[in-house]
Structure 1
Amino acid sequence: MGHGIKALVFDVFGTLVDWRGSIAREGAAWGAARGVAADWAAFADAWRAAYHPSMDRVRRGERPWTILDHLHRETLDRLLAEFGIIGLDEAEKDHWNRVWHRLTPWPDTVPGMLALKPHFTLATLSNGNVALLLNMAKRAGMPFDTILSAELCRHYKPDPEVYRMAYGLLGLQPHEVLMTAAHNSDLVAASQQGLRTAFFPRPAEYGPAQVKDKQAEHAFDFVATDLVDLARQLRAI
C-alpha cells in the first residue's frame, strides 16, 4: 500500500472503548435494581483517576509487578466505602471489578477494525492484563489477531519495553508497526521507540469537561477523525 505498515497496535481504554459511559450505565442499572443511589459518572471518573498513580507505583519499583485487574480491585474497595456503597459480598465485588472486561466499543471501532483486518495484523497494546483484554475483545466483537499486554513484559506504558515488545513479538521492524491511540502521550512514547503513529480524538472520553487529547498535539504520521477515517487513509477502504 505504499506506507510499509504491516501491523496496527491499539491503545484500548478510551481509544477503542468508552470506559466512562460503560461504567456509568452499568452502575445506574445495578443501582436502580438494588435501590442504591450514586453519581455513577463520578464513580467512573474516580476509578479511572487512580489508574496512572497505581501503575506508576509499579513502574517506579515501589511495589512488585501487579496486573491491572488487581490494581482496579484495590481502588474499587476504597471507592465503595467513599461512595457509601455497602453490603457487597466478594462475588459482587468481583463482578463489579470485571466491569472493565465489559466495556462498550465506540460506534466506529468495530467497523474500522473489520475494514483494516484483511490488510493488517491487528493487536492490542494496552496496560490491561491479558484476560481483561481478551474478555473485552470477545464480548465487544473486536476482531484482534492477537492480544499484546503490558503483562507480557511486566512493564506499564509508557515504559519503552512495552513498545519494543510489540514489534519484537510480531517479528517486525518498528517502522512497520503503527501505534494507534487517542492519547498524545502514548503516541509520543511509541514514536521514541521507532513506531509509526496514528491519532484520532475521543472528545467524550472524559465527559463534557474533557480538556486533554481533543486534538493532535504533535506531528504524528496519521491524524484521523475516527478509526474508519484512519482505515480510509491507510487505503483499507
Structure 2
Amino acid sequence: MMTGMNMPAAQPRLIVFDVFGTVVDWHGSIVKEVSERFPSVDANGLALAWRAGYQPAMQGVRSGARGWVRLDVLHREILDGLLPRFGLGGLSEAERADLNRVWHRLDPWPDSVAGLTRLRSRFTIAPLSNGNLALLTAMAKRAGLPWDCVLSTEVFQAYKPDPRTYLGAVEAFGLQPGEVLMAAAHQDDLDAARSHGLMTAYVERPWEFGRQRPKDVTPSPDNPWHARDIGHLADQLLGT
C-alpha cells in the first residue's frame, strides 16, 4: 500500500539497494565490536567519527584529486587518523587491518534478510553500494544477504552520486532507467538516482546513527514508495 504517493505505471525489473544504513546496521555493529574489544574506548564516538570521514574521503576521488581507490583503503586511512584520538594509536598493523575489516562484518537490520528474500521471489535484487566487491561479498556471506549478484560502484570506478554508478547498473542488466528501482535510507542517494530516471523507494532507518541521534524519516512526495523497513517495501511491491 502506498503512503500517499502515486503508484508508478510499472513495477521494476531490478531493485538495487544502498547497503550501509539501509540493509546493514553499521553503527550498532561497530559499537558492539569496538566495545567488546576495547571496553575503555568511546565506541559510539569512534563509530560516528569513522563514518563522518566517509564522504570527505570519497570526495577526493570524485573531484579527480586522486585516482580510483577502493573503500577498504579509504576506511583504513580514516581509521589510522582516528586511532590516536581514541587511545588506540599503539595498535599493531595486524590489529589495525582486522579492525578495518569490521565493515565486512556488519550485521543486517532484523528485517533485511527476510524482506530481501521475499523481494527476490519476483525481482532481481542487488546492492548498489560504495563498498568494494570484497567487502560486499564477505558481508553478504556472513549476514546471509540473498543477493542475485553483488554489484559495487568499484565496477564503474566511481562513487555515488556519480551518474556512472546508477546508469552503469542499468546498463549492466540491459534495462532502461525506468525499469530499475533504487532503495535507500538516504534521500540524497535517491535524489541522484531519480535525476537519472530511476524509480526510488525510501526505507526508514531512524536509528542509523544510534538511539541518541534519531534521523528524520519524514516521507518525501518525490519517492513513489516509502517503507518502514524492507519487509514493508516487499508488502507494497508484492501486493501482500
Q: So what's the TM-score if we normalise by structure 2?
A: 0.93
- Residue matched to 1:148: 151
Cα deviation, residue 170, structure 1: 1.2
Contact 1:116 1:236 in 2 (8 A): no
1:71-126: CA deviations, max 9, x gaps? Answer: 00001111111111133221111110000000000011001001111101010100
Structure 2: 5+ residue stretches without partners:
1-8
Say whether the 8 Å CA contact 1:112–1:227 is kept in structure 2.
yes
Match of 2:130 in 1: 127
Equivalent-residue separation in structure 2 for 1:142 and 1:59 (angstroms): 29
Counterpart-to-counterpart distance in 2, 1:233 and 1:27: 37
Match of 2:28 among 2, 16, 21: 21
Question: Partner letter of residue 188 of structure 2?
Answer: S
In 1: Cα distance, 2:220 partner to 2:21 partner: 17
Once the two structures are overlaid, the 10-residue window that deviates more, 213-222 or 21-30, is: 213-222
Contact 2:14/2:124 (8 A) holds in 1: yes
Structure 1 runs, 4 residues or longer, greater than 4 Å off: none
Question: Which residue number in structure 2 is paired with residue 197 of structure 1?
Answer: 200
Mapped partners of 1:84, 1:29: distance in 2: 15
Q: Deviations over 1:173-208 (max 9, x none)?
A: 111111000110100100011111001210000123
Contact 2:17 2:182 in 1 (8 A): yes
Give the direction of change, closer, same or farther, for the CA distance of 1:236–1:119 in structure 2 (3 Å limit): farther
Deviation at 1:213, TM superposition (A): 4.6
Give the residue type in structure 1 aligned to 2:49.
A
Q: Percent identity?
A: 51
1:234 to 221, 234, 237: 237
Q: Which residue in the other structure is 2:75 paired with? A: 72
Q: CA deviation at 1:148?
A: 1.2
- Alpha-carbon spacing, 1:213–1:162, altered in 2? closer, same or farther (3 Å): farther
Q: Across the two proteins, how many residue pairs are aligned to each other?
A: 233
Output the CA distance in 1 between the equivalents of 2:77 and 2:219: 33
Please tell me whether residue 108 in structure 1 is matched to residue 108 in structure 2.
no
Contact 1:11 1:126 in 2 (8 A): yes
- State the match for 1:179 in structure 2: 182
Match of 1:38 among 16, 37, 41: 41
**Pairwise CA distance, 1:211:** 5.6
- Retained in 2: the 8 A contact 1:110–1:141? yes
TM-score by length of 1: 0.94
The structure 1 residue matched to 2:14, chosen from 7, 15, 21, is: 7
Aligned-partner SS, 1:126: coil
Contact 1:115–1:236 at 8 Å: present in 2 too? Answer: no
